[in-house]
């Protein structure tokens, strides 16, 4: 099948017109042999290239391009199957973009549908978009040091259920901003296995009762400037008419302030709920307890949920941000959510951060709070120490 792959990258050194022509000449020979066509834009610092051709040759060429020392931070902006080529007359054509350009400066022999994806992408690049990559120089200037010690709490007595805790790290302030309580059984089962085998009222009572353990243990692990996140299923939230009062009593008994407790509900669960659920959420909030949307981006409600639900915290699902440093679609989605969160004053936490490259891109884009194995894995009856220094 014919496909179109678009990437952008950052040059590692000075590229003049002669260099650009050499890139074009060298690439055209390979492209001609493998029937690859496309266009290359360069603005003096950033490259933006469209590759068109059969899947296997395009993939092979892109892997080769990623290893070229003349650029860095190669990001695949988009990759789609197309029914025809937009640049079928050229095995590669290079154009220099000047400040303030738009696609109206394109040569007259390049005719693109003004409603097409590729026209919009070229126009975005020419007008300054897709230039948020982190250069090697930026990396050198970025200094973050988060260092904490292991913290432990006594196991909850006479209970087959315990909790593991994972920190959420604010790298802008170089500290742990909160911790999340994750339920565990004595035989090592995870939440979906523990709660998944229960149904109806039994499930909801169990979910609520075990939070007494989570809050009591969590309170012993945080200070007055940190918060504790717990997870509740919607059925548990609507199971008791006095759910807000119940949670508030657990908070007070544990010596926390109500605003230190954050109740997390997943996006997938929220969108299925009725007005009874939303009324219960407002009751919880009336006691000063905060509400977070967990795993945002894993469901299908999208930004409309943020408009209707107005959470106190958003936790972006790892499906969105895994490999984000080299994926244009995920970058665009994350930037949109971050912009919304910032404009509404809602803290954004990115979940599942496992690699330094993922964190570097997210930090550079403006994200401040992170949760993932890059910083610390969950620790049973405690919080694992962090040693993060870049």
- What is the tens place of the pLDDT at every residue in 36-56? 999 999 988 899 999 999 999
CATH homologous superfamily for the domain 145-389? EAL domain (3.20.20.450)
In the 8-state DSSP scheme, what is residue 155? P
CATH 3.20.20.450 domain span(s) along the chain: 145-389
What does the pLDDT average to over 14-32? 91
Task: Return the CATH number of 2-133, one of 3.50.50.60, 3.40.50.620, 3.30.70.100, 3.30.1490.20.
Answer: 3.30.70.100
- Whether the pLDDT of residue 314 is over 80: the answer is yes
Pick from 138, 180, 188, 135: nearest CA to 160: 188
pLDDT at 99: 62
pLDDT at 161: 87
pLDDT at 300: 58
Q: Give the dihedral sign, CA 249/250/256/262.
A: negative
Beta strand spans in 33-160 (E): 37-42, 46-54, 71-81, 93-96, 145-147, 151-152
Q: Pairing between strand 290-296 and 313-316?
A: parallel
pLDDT digits 0-9 by tens, 302-313: 667 777 778 999
In the 8-state DSSP scheme, what is residue 269? H
pLDDT at 273: 58
Max avg pLDDT among 90-94, 112-116, 138-142, 296-300: 90-94
pLDDT at 73: 87
Q: Where are the alpha helices (DSSP H) in 114-180?
A: 117-126, 136-141
- Whether the pLDDT of residue 296 is over 90: the answer is no
Max avg pLDDT among 22-31, 171-180, 271-280: 171-180
Task: Give the confidence band of 198 by pLDDT, cuts at 50, 70, 90.
Answer: confident
Rounded distance between C-alpha atoms, residue 287 and residue 122, angstroms:
51
Q: Pairing between strand 2-11 and 71-81?
A: antiparallel
Rounded distance between C-alpha atoms, residue 386 and residue 390, angstroms:
13
Read off φ and ψ for residue 252, nearest 5 degrees. Answer: -65, -45
Q: Where are the alpha helices (DSSP H) in the chain?
A: 17-33, 55-66, 117-126, 136-141, 191-196, 200-219, 234-239, 243-253, 267-270, 275-286, 303-309, 318-321, 328-344, 356-365
Please report, for residues 14, 231, 314, 339, 371, the alpha-carbon distance to residue 294 in angstroms, rounded to integers and kept in the order given.
Answer: 45, 9, 7, 18, 12
Matching residue, tokens 């970025």: 142
What does the pLDDT average to over 164-192? 88
Residues contacting 196, CB < 8 A, separation 6+ = none
Percent of the chain with pLDDT over 70: 91
- Whether the pLDDT of residue 102 is over 60: the answer is no
Least confident of 133-137, 184-188, 196-200, 227-231: 133-137
In the 8-state DSSP scheme, what is residue 240? -
pLDDT at 140: 75
Pick from 59, 123, 43: nearest CA to 51: 59
137: its two tokens:
């120089």
What does the pLDDT average to over 310-331? 91
Max avg pLDDT among 142-151, 153-162, 220-229: 220-229
What does the pLDDT average to over 368-377? 97
Rounded distance between C-alpha atoms, residue 77 and residue 73, angstroms:
12
What does the pLDDT average to over 238-243? 92
Name the maximum alpha-carbon separation found in the chain: 78
Rounded distance between C-alpha atoms, residue 376 and residue 354, angstroms:
9
More confident residue, 259 or 302: 259
pLDDT at 132: 59
- Whether the pLDDT of residue 2 is over 90: the answer is yes
- Residue 110, helix vs strand vs coil: coil
More confident residue, 100 or 348: 348
pLDDT at 191: 66
Task: Give the confidence band of 31 by pLDDT, cuts at 50, 70, 90.
Answer: very high
Task: Give the confidence band of 282 by pLDDT, cuts at 50, 70, 90.
Answer: very high
Least confident of 243-252, 297-306, 375-384: 297-306
- Whether the pLDDT of residue 101 is over 70: the answer is no
Cα angle: 210, vertex 212, 216; to 5 degrees:
125
More confident residue, 98 or 89: 89
More confident residue, 88 or 174: 174
Pick from 298, 301, 360: nearest CA to 331: 360
Return mean pLDDT, the chain. 88
> 0.85 cut: is pTM over it?
no
CB 169 within 8 A of CB 380: no
CATH 3.30.70.100 domain span(s) along the chain: 2-133
- Whether the pLDDT of residue 155 is over 80: the answer is yes
pLDDT at 188: 64
- Residue 74, helix vs strand vs coil: strand
Please report, for residues 53, 65, 66, 86, 89, the alpha-carbon distance to residue 60 in angstroms, rounded to integers and kept in the order given.
Answer: 11, 9, 10, 20, 21
């Amino acid at each position: 099948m014919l496909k179109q792959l678009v990437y952008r990258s950052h040059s590692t050194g000075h590229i003049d017109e002669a260099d650009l022509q050499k890139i074009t000449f060298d690439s055209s020979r390979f492209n001609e042999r493998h029937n690859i066509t496309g266009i290359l834009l360069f603005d003096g610092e950033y490259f933006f290239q469209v590759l068109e051709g059969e899947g296997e040759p395009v993939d092979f060429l892109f892997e080769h391009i990623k290893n070229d020392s003349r650029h860095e931070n190669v990001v695949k902006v988009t990759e789609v199957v197309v029914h025809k080529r937009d640049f079928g007359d050229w095995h590669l054509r290079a154009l220099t973009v000047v400040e303030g350009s738009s696609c109206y400066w394109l040569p007259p022999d390049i005719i693109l549908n003004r409603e097409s994806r590729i026209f919009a992408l070229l126009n975005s690049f020419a007008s300054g978009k897709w230039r948020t990559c982190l250069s090697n120089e930026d990396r050198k200037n970025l200094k973050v040091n988060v260092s904490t010690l292991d913290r432990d709490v006594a196991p909850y007595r006479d209970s087959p259920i315990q909790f593991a805790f994972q920190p959420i790290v604010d790298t802008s302030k170089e500290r742990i901003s909160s911790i999340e309580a994750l339920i565990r059984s004595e035989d090592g089962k995870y939440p979906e296995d523990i709660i998944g085998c229960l149904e109806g009222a039994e499930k909801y009572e169990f979910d609520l009762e075990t939070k007494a353990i989570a809050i009591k243990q969590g309170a012993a692990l945080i200070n007055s400037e940190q918060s504790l996140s717990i997870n509740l299923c919607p059925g548990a939230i609507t199971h008791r008419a006095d759910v807000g009062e119940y949670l508030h009593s657990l908070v007070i008994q544990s010596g926390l302030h109500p605003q230190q407790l954050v109740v997390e509900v997943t996006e997938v669960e929220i969108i299925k709920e009725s007005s009874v659920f939303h009324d219960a959420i407002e009751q919880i909030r009336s006691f000063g307890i905060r509400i977070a949307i967990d795993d945002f981006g894993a469901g299908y409600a999208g930004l409309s949920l943020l408009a209707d639900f107005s959470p106190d915290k958003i936790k972006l699902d790892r499906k969105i941000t895994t490999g984000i440093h080299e994926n244009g679609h995920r970058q665009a989605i994350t930037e949109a959510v971050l912009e919304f969160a910032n404009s509404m004053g809602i803290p954004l936490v990115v979940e599942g951060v496992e690699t330094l490259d993922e964190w570097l891109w997210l930090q550079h884009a403006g994200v401040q709070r992170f949760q993932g194995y890059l910083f610390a894995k969950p620790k049973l009856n405690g919080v694992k120490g962090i040693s993060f220094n870049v």
